[in-house]
Structure formats: C-alpha cells, structure tokens
Structure 1
C-alpha cells in the first residue's frame, strides 16, 4: 500500500508495515522536489491568511518561506519533520542502520 502522496498527513507511522515504511522512504526521497514545492505552496497560503489577522505570524511565515525557498529541495527534505519521523520509525524497527 503506497501512502507516499499523503504521508505528511499521517500522524502515527507505527501503523505502517515494515515494507510500507521502506517503500515510502524510497518514494519520498525520489519526490523531494515535489514535497519541497508543496511546502512552499502551504506556507504561501498560510502567509496570505496571516497578513490579514496576525502580522507577527505573517513575519514568521514569511521568513520560513524565504528560508525554505532558498534551500535546495534535497537539503530541505533531509531536515523535513515528516521524513525524519518516518525514518526514526524505521530505525526503531531496525529496518536499516544509520551510516557513520
């Protein structure tokens, strides 16, 4: 079962099987640029709403947007919270060992 398209909406990665975890990690890595662009769209929408209601939040989102935009997709992806969580779940299950 491939959940890579909506993996960022999944809150409990423990419900995935071992093969689903590994498959999604692989698919997610291949789609780093896609997830990067989706994050930019998400931040842009949040900025648009925040400028009307909360200028402080708008400034934070604006800075986050600029930082994300200026980071290459693969670098951003390696630090993306969703990727780190799913990778941690795979490591917890000892599906692969960290290099180093």
Structure 2
C-alpha cells in the first residue's frame, strides 16, 4: 500500500519546429504530401515482396502517416483528467497534491 499521494515529474525533451505558415495550413500541406497508411492493403500482402510493393504504391516518397492526433484536444483532456483525479482523491481523503489544484 502507498502511504500517501504524490506527484512525480518526468522530464522530457520536446522538439519545436519552425513552420513556414500557420499550424493548420502546414498540417494540411504535410498531409497532402504524406499519405495515410492503407492498413487493409498491407494485411492482404502474402509475402515481403508484396509488402514492399504496397509500400511503394502507398508511399511514393517513402513516408506514410500512421496516426493523427489533435494536440489541443489532448491537452484539454489532460486538464479535465487532473480535475477529476483531484476530486477522486478528495473523496478518498487522500489529500490533493498542489500540482493538481486549479
């Protein structure tokens, strides 16, 4: 059993890339150049040469998009989870670390 509630910081490195235009325009341009991966076609491939062939057709420049996440939406979810966690800790009489209080 953990005797008390605490917050542990995990440092991370973030790369901030300069964009030649506003974020939405830059994202749309990137997505127009880099196709989304066609998972169904890859699953149909019966051999490694077929996988390479699908990749060549799917990604003529050698890049495919495997995931698209909306960062502002994720950040909002994080803030909401912090407040829900703080409320849960209050209900459990565990004490709320100052990092979770608004």
- Normalised to the residue count of structure 2, the TM-score between the two structures is 0.28
- Normalised to the residue count of structure 1, the TM-score between the two structures is 0.28
